[in-house]
Chain A
Amino acid sequence: MSIIVNKDTRVVVRGITGNQGRFHTASMKAYGTKLVAGVTPAKGGQEVEGIPVFNNMRDAIAKTGANTSIMFVPARFTKEAVLEDIETGIKTIVIITEGVPLVDEIEFVAQAKKKGVTIIGPNCPGIINPLLKIKVGILPDQLFSPGPIGIVSRSGTLTYEIANFLSKAGAGQSTCIGMGGDPIIGLDFVTLLEMFRKDDETKAVVLIGEIGGNAEEMAAQYIKETNYPKQVVAYIAGRMAPKGKRMGHAGAIIMGEAGTAASKIEAYAAAGVIVSEKLSDIVKLVNIK
C-alpha cells in the first residue's frame, strides 16, 4: 500500500519545455516515475526526454491516460492551468511554482475540493516514494532511501536534510511530502496524518513545521483527539524569528501573538508529540524498528 502515488500513477509535466521542466523531467524519469506526457501550449508535437508534448491537457489525457500532473508553470498562469487540470479529470496535482497569488490559491483549492482532486503545494518540492521509486517533484532523490518513516514538511530543504540524516542512520522512508510554504496550500498536516494512519508501510511520522498559521496546532489536536496510533516526531523552524516579518516563505510570518513557535511546541507537548529542538536530533528520537 502507499499514499497519493502508486504503480498506476501516470504523470504529465506542465511546462515540460522550460529549463526547470526539462531538468526535472529527466530526473523523475531516471528515478523510475512513469512519465507519460508533457503539456506546453503551442509547443505540442515535439518530444522532451523521449516524452510526447501536447498543446493541452485534454489531448494529453486522451492519448496517454495521464492521471497526475506536476506544474512548472509561471505563477501568473498557474491558476488557469490548475483549473484546466481539474476540469479535464486529473486526480492529483503537484504545484512546484512559487509566488502564486493568494486569491488564485483560494479559488483552485476550493475547486479541487469540490471535484475530489488532490493538490500538493503550491511552492512545494512535491512527493517521493522511495519504496516504489516514484517521484513527482524536485526532491534530490539520492538523499532518500526506502524504509518505514513518513515525512511531511512545510519546507523543501529541511525535508532533504532530515531524509539525509535518517538515510545515513539506516532509517529509510515510506513517503515524503513537501506541502509547500504558502499560507494557502492543498494537502495539510491533518489530511496527510490521516493517510499515513492507514498506510501499512509507515511506522512513524516526522512533521516538519515552521512559524506562521496554525497547521501544527491543528495537527496536534488531531493526534490527541484520535489517539494517533503511530509515533510522531516534530520539528519547528523559526523559534527565533521576529514578529511581523516574512521569513522567506509567504506563510512563515508571526501575526501578533498567532503562529509563534512557542504556541506550536506547547500544542505538540499537550498532544504527547516529541518535539526535536535540533534538526540533527530527530534521528535519535524516531523509533527506527
Chain B
Amino acid sequence: MKLFEYEAKSILQNYGISIPRGKVAQTPEAAAAIAQELGSKVFLKSQITVSGRGKAGGILAAANPTEAATVAASLIGKIIKGIQVHTLLVEERLDLKEQYYASITVDRQAKCFVALASTSGGVDIEDVAKNTPEKISRLKIDPLIGLSQAAALKMLEQFKLSQEDAAIFARILVILYKAAIEKDAELVELNPLVKTAQGAFMAADARMTIDDNAMFRHPEFAERSLKQEEDTPREAEARKQHYSYVDLDGDIGIVGNGAGLVMSTIDFVQIFGGKPANFLDIGGGAHVEVIKKGILLVMNKPEVKAVLINILGGITRCDVVATGVVEALKAAPVKKPIAVRMIGTNEKEGQEILRQHGIEFYRDMDKAVASIIKA
C-alpha cells in the first residue's frame, strides 16, 4: 500500500525527521486559510501516489492566500496521470540550498534492504543512476546487524560533505531504516531531502510503501488499506472480499486457481487473439461460496462478454469448483457464456456436475480458449 506524501511525512516526523510546515486541504477556502496561517509563499501539492506528479502539473506555487485559493480550485478534482485529486498538501516554500536523496528499499536478489543516498536529489533517481552513477552511494544492509551511524557515514564519504552535514545525513538514513523495519515498509524515500539556506535538513517530499502482508500487525493502517488509490472500484470491492483481482481492459472474464496459472491463462487468451477483462485467482482449496462469488464478481463486470474458468485441481477439488460454477450461473442477473477447463482432483465428479447442467467443459486449455473467444 502506497501512502500519500502527507501520511508518510507525518509518520517520519514522529521518528525525528524534520518536515516543512503545512496541512492538508480539500477545498480552496481551506487552502487559503492554511496559506494565511503559514504566512509565507506556499506550494500546493496534489496528494496522489503516482510518480511524476510534479512534471504532470500536480504541484503548483502560490504567493499569497488569494492565489492559494485560485490554485487549489484548479487542482482539486483535476485528473493527473489517470488519478483524480481530492486532497492537497499546502506547505511553506523553503529557501533551498541543496537537494539530496535518501531511501531505504528492498533488493530482491541480495535478499536484504539497501540504503541509497545521492547528492543529486529532486530528480528521478533512476536517471541519476544512469547518467551520473558517481553521485549515488548504495549500501546493502545486513539484516542481522542493521544500519549503524558509522556504516551510514562511511557510505556518504564519497560525497565530501562537511562533517556536520554528513552526520545529519547519516542519522537520517539510520532513522529511515528503523522506520522501514518498524512500519514494515518496502520503500521509504525522501526525494528531495533538502538542506535549507538556514542549514536545516528537511524532507521536502516523502514516499512510503507498506507491505500488504504485514497489515495484521499494523492496526493503524487497517481502515486505510481498504481504500488504496491505485485500486479501481471493482478491485477495491475484490480486496474487501479477500480476492486477488486485477482489472484489465478486455472483454473475456478470467477465473483460475493459482497466480501463475491465471497469468498464463491471460497470456494464452491473448495469443489466441482474445482480450482478457481481468485477473482473478480464487486461491488453493476454495469453497463453493468463494468460487461462486468470484465468478459473479467477474460475470457482473459490464464489459465482460464471456467467462473462462481454468482450474488445475490439487488442493482445489473439481467437484467443488463445478458446484460453484452452477451456483454462480443460478445467481447471475445476466447469464453470460462460460467455458470451464478443469483437470486434477475429483475431475470426473466435477465434469458430471457440469454435464448435468449443460455447461461446456474441456480438459484441454487450447480448446477451452478457442471456444470462449468464439462465444
* Residue in contact with B276 in the complex, picked from A111, A210, A237, A240, CB distance below 8 Å: A240
Number of interface residues of A (CB under 8 A): 60
Proximity string of chain B (341-364) to chain A, C-beta cutoff 8 Å, 1 when within and 0 when not: 001110000000000000000000
Q: Are B213 and A99 closer than 8 Å at their CB atoms?
A: yes
Q: Are B345 and A140 closer than 8 Å at their CB atoms?
A: yes
* Residue in contact with A110 in the complex, picked from B144, B181, B257, B366, CB distance below 8 Å: B144
A111-B144, A155-B259, A215-B109 known; A101 and B266 CB under 8 Å? no
Q: Is B319 an interface residue (CB 8 A)?
A: no
Q: Is A103 an interface residue (CB 8 A)?
A: yes
Bound CA–CA A110/B212 (angstroms): 22
Majority-rule SS of B interface residues = mixed
Q: Is B56 an interface residue (CB 8 A)?
A: no
What is the count of residue pairs linking A and B with beta-carbon distances less than 8 angstroms? 157
Q: Are B109 and A218 closer than 8 Å at their CB atoms?
A: yes
Q: Smallest Cβ distance from B65 to chain A, in angstroms?
A: 37
Q: Smallest Cβ distance from B126 to chain A, in angstroms?
A: 7
* Residue in contact with B184 in the complex, picked from A101, A140, A161, A215, CB distance below 8 Å: A101
Q: Is B263 an interface residue (CB 8 A)?
A: yes
Bound CA–CA A157/B284 (angstroms): 9
Q: Smallest Cβ distance from A90 to chain B, in angstroms?
A: 19
Q: Smallest Cβ distance from B333 to chain A, in angstroms?
A: 27
Proximity string of chain A (215-251) to chain B, C-beta cutoff 8 Å, 1 when within and 0 when not: 1001000000000000000010111111011111111
Q: Is A278 an interface residue (CB 8 A)?
A: yes
Bound CA–CA A215/B268 (angstroms): 23
* A contact residues around B260 at 8 Å (CB): 153-158, 181, 208, 210, 237, 248-249
Closest B residue, CB atoms, query A183: B108
Q: Smallest Cβ distance from B142 to chain A, in angstroms?
A: 7
A102-B186, A164-B343, A278-B271 known; A213 and B109 CB under 8 Å? yes
Q: Is A207 an interface residue (CB 8 A)?
A: no
* Residue in contact with B106 in the complex, picked from A158, A183, A210, CB distance below 8 Å: A183
**Chain A, 123-155, CB within 8 A of any chain B CB:** 125, 138-140, 143, 153-155
Q: Is A277 an interface residue (CB 8 A)?
A: yes
Q: Is A268 an interface residue (CB 8 A)?
A: no
Q: Is B246 an interface residue (CB 8 A)?
A: yes
Closest B residue, CB atoms, query A277: B271
* A contact residues around B258 at 8 Å (CB): 155-158, 248
* B contact residues around A125 at 8 Å (CB): 314
Q: Are B108 and A75 closer than 8 Å at their CB atoms?
A: no
Q: Are B213 and A100 closer than 8 Å at their CB atoms?
A: yes
Q: Is B365 an interface residue (CB 8 A)?
A: yes
Bound CA–CA A107/B113 (angstroms): 10
Bound CA–CA A277/B246 (angstroms): 23
Q: Is A50 an interface residue (CB 8 A)?
A: no
Q: Is B312 an interface residue (CB 8 A)?
A: yes
Proximity string of chain B (291-318) to chain A, C-beta cutoff 8 Å, 1 when within and 0 when not: 0000000000000000000001111000
Q: Are A210 and B315 closer than 8 Å at their CB atoms?
A: no
* Residue in contact with A240 in the complex, picked from B212, B244, B267, B365, CB distance below 8 Å: B267
**Chain A, 240-268, CB within 8 A of any chain B CB:** 240-242, 244-252, 256
Closest A residue, CB atoms, query B180: A103
Bound CA–CA A91/B212 (angstroms): 30
Q: Is B10 an interface residue (CB 8 A)?
A: no
Q: Is B264 an interface residue (CB 8 A)?
A: yes
* B contact residues around A284 at 8 Å (CB): none
Q: Is A287 an interface residue (CB 8 A)?
A: no
Q: Are B216 and A76 closer than 8 Å at their CB atoms?
A: yes
Bound CA–CA A241/B269 (angstroms): 12
Q: Are A103 and B181 closer than 8 Å at their CB atoms?
A: yes
Q: Are B344 and A158 closer than 8 Å at their CB atoms?
A: no
Proximity string of chain B (199-229) to chain A, C-beta cutoff 8 Å, 1 when within and 0 when not: 0000000000001111011000000000000
Besides A111-B144, A125-B314, A184-B111, 19 more A-B contacts (Cβ < 8 Å) are: A99-B213, A100-B213, A102-B186, A102-B213, A102-B214, A110-B111, A114-B144, A160-B312, A181-B259, A181-B260, A235-B264, A238-B267, A240-B270, A241-B279, A242-B248, A250-B212, A252-B259, A278-B268, A278-B271
Q: Could you write out 15 A-B pairs with CB less than 8 Å apart?
A: A76-B217, A101-B217, A103-B181, A143-B344, A154-B260, A155-B263, A157-B257, A157-B258, A160-B312, A161-B312, A210-B260, A248-B279, A250-B212, A250-B213, A280-B366
**Contact surface of A with B, Cβ cutoff 8 Å:** 20, 23, 75-76, 99-103, 106-107, 109-111, 114, 125, 138-140, 143, 153-158, 160-161, 164, 181, 183-184, 208, 210-211, 213-215, 218, 235, 237-242, 244-252, 256, 277-280
